[in-house]
């Protein structure tokens, strides 16, 4: 229950500070129409581009409306004791696990295992993963968000993510340039561990879902404990 | 009952939340902190933090894309 | 009328976001055969810009090791307009539309040089790290876990450790 003093303060502030908030829905409509026109244009030039466009927009809307943030999912549990974003992420991972499994199952029926061609992202694991992820983690926190967060905030009108974007352009270039060094020292000796190579895909799916659900329970317990 | 304003406009997540929590620690019971932020996630996160820690929180949008988040220490 | 605008302003609960992202991610892979990636496009843009300055980044060894999709994009000179760029611009436009529907759009400037520098350095670190892990949180982790690859779990552990370290740095310099 909000106290009377707070209520009074809020009212006072609203009278003083609340500028005329203009509805931006007409702009939203204009943007939607422009997006639809571009969609038709993409469809004409290359059907599949229209699919990428629509799904990209879908990602943007979902990220923004649910205030989703990968950086927050990783950071908030220990910073604020809040596991909301982590739980959202776990749900997304559970759904993706099932969906990707169906797709990979279809692929594996007709193809031998070739890591670069398996639908999804199957890549080597090793010291390079550890170093890369750690550097990424630091960068993501000091920049205020990861790559998806940068795109989302650009859509909100923030200027700061533009600097992060510039950083991305520089960083990915430097990373690509340095890649042969990492490859020779670490990556070429690293193995790829693709679980369905060791167990039946269905078993892998079940185990992974159980693990994700346990993590979810853990996240709920952790937040309630604080 | 003291009212303090904390201007965190143009500062990226998670700075506004951290600053707000730090500031609240120095305040007395029944004091109100007004956090100014333009990050869409801050309101949601502070509201949840408030629920967990027994602080009353009210999020108001003063102009398009700028929020004032009222937090009262219990 | 007012209730519609109120409805459009309400944030969605986290699980709705999670469900949507999961479904969209699966749909993308199912229909196009491509997993969601963000930083791939940034590298291509950077390369395209360097090409304009006379350099030849696409001849670097990196592009021989990674991703068959890159090869066809580079061969067709599509480095600025390709499936990855369209996905990224789509995310920005989607976020823009959602922000406008909620009437929360505002041009927001930068508070100070320090913040801009941190964002820049953060971006550089993320860009570099993402080359080592073959993708960012989206391309390597979010797609890697459902792809049943161990690397994504290792990524998860160490990105959290990195976030902890990053938070200490943040508190020291930007608070």
For residue range C60-76, list pLDDT tens digits in order: 999 988 777 888 888 88
Nearest to C22 among A56, A95, A136 (CB): A95
Q: How many CB atoms lie within 10 A of CB B21?
A: 18
Among chain C residues, the shortest Cα distance to A125 is held by C151
pLDDT one-digit tens code per residue, C32-47: 999 999 999 999 999 9
| B61 neighbors A88 (Cβ within 8 angstroms) | no
Distance CA A55, CA C26 (A): 11
Enumerate neighbours of A (3 or more CB pairs within 8 A).
B, C
Q: How far is CA A162 from the centre of its chain?
A: 18
Task: State in Å, rounded, how far the first CA of chain C is from the last one.
Answer: 42
Q: Which two tokens stand for residue A15?
A: 């009278």
What local confidence, expressed as pLDDT, does residue A5 receive?
A: 86
Distance CA C26, CA C142 (A): 11
Chain B residues within an 8 Å CB radius of C106: 38, 63-66
Q: Is A72 on the interface with B (CB under 8 A)?
A: yes
| A110 neighbors A119 (Cβ within 8 angstroms) | no
Least Cα distance to C27 among C78, C87, C94 occurs for: C87
* H or E element at residue B32: strand B32-37
Question: Taking phi first (over 0 means left), then psi (-120 to 50 degrees means alpha), and beta for anything else, what does residue C135 get?
Answer: left
Q: How far is CA C95 from the centre of its chain?
A: 13
Whole-prediction pTM value?
Answer: 0.95
Distance CA A209, CA A201 (A): 12
**Residue contact A13–B60, C-beta within 8 A:** yes
pLDDT tens string, chain A, 226 residues long: the values are 778 888 898 888 888 877 778 899 999 999 999 999 999 999 999 999 999 999 999 999 999 999 999 999 999 999 999 999 999 999 999 999 999 999 999 999 999 888 989 999 999 999 999 999 999 999 999 999 999 999 999 999 999 999 999 999 999 999 999 999 999 999 999 999 999 999 999 999 999 999 999 999 999 999 888 7
């Amino acid at each position: 229950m909000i106290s009377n003093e707070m209520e009074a303060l809020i009212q006072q502030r609203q009278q003083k500070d609340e500028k005329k908030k203009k509805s931006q829905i007409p702009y939203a409509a204009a943007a939607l129409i422009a997006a639809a026109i571009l969609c038709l244009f993409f469809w004409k030039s290359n059907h599949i581009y229209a699919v990428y466009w629509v799904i990209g927009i879908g990602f943007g809307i979902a990220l923004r409306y649910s205030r989703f943030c990968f950086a927050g999912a990783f950071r908030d549990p220990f910073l604020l004791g809040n596991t909301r974003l982590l739980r959202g992420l776990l749900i997304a991972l559970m759904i993706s696990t099932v969906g990707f499994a169906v797709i990979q199952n279809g692929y594996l029926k007709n193809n031998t295992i070739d890591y670069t061609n398996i639908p999804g992202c199957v890549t080597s694991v090793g010291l390079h993963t550890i170093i890369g992820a750690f550097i990424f983690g630091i960068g993501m926190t000091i920049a205020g968000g990861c790559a998806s967060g940068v795109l989302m905030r650009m859509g909100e009108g923030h200027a700061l993510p533009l600097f992060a974007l510039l950083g991305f352009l520089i960083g990915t270039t430097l990373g690509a340039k340095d890649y042969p060094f990492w490859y020779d020292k670490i990556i070429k000796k690293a193995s790829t561990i693709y679980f369905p190579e060791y167990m039946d895909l269905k078993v892998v799916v079940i185990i992974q879902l159980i693990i994700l659900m346990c993590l979810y329970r853990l996240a709920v317990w952790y937040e309630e404990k604080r | 009952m003291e009212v303090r304003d904390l201007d965190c406009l143009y500062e990226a997540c998670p700075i506004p939340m951290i600053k707000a929590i730090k500031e609240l620690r120095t305040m007395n019971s029944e004091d109100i902190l007004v956090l100014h932020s333009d990050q869409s996630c801050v309101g949601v996160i502070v509201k949840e933090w408030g629920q967990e820690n027994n602080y009353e929180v009210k999020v108001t949008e003063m102009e398009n894309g700028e929020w004032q988040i009222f937090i009262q220490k219990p | 009328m007012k209730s519609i605008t109120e409805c459009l302003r309400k944030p969605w609960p986290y699980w709705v976001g999670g469900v949507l992202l999961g479904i969209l991610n699966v749909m993308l892979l199912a229909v196009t055969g491509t997993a969601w990636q963000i930083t791939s496009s940034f590298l291509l843009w950077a390369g395209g810009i360097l090409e304009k300055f006379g350099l030849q980044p696409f001849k670097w060894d990196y592009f021989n090791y990674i991703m068959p999709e890159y090869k066809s994009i580079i061969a067709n000179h599509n480095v600025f307009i390709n499936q990855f760029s369209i996905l990224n611009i789509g995310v920005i436009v989607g976020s823009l539309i959602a922000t406008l529907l909620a009437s929360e759009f505002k041009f927001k400037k930068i508070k100070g040089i320090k913040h801009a520098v941190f964002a820049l350095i953060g971006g550089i670190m993320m860009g570099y790290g993402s080359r080592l892990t073959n993708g960012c949180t989206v391309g390597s982790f979010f797609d890697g876990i459902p792809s049943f690859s161990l690397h994504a779990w290792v990524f998860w552990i160490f990105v959290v450790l990195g976030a902890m370290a990053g938070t200490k740095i943040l508190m020291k310099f930007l608070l």
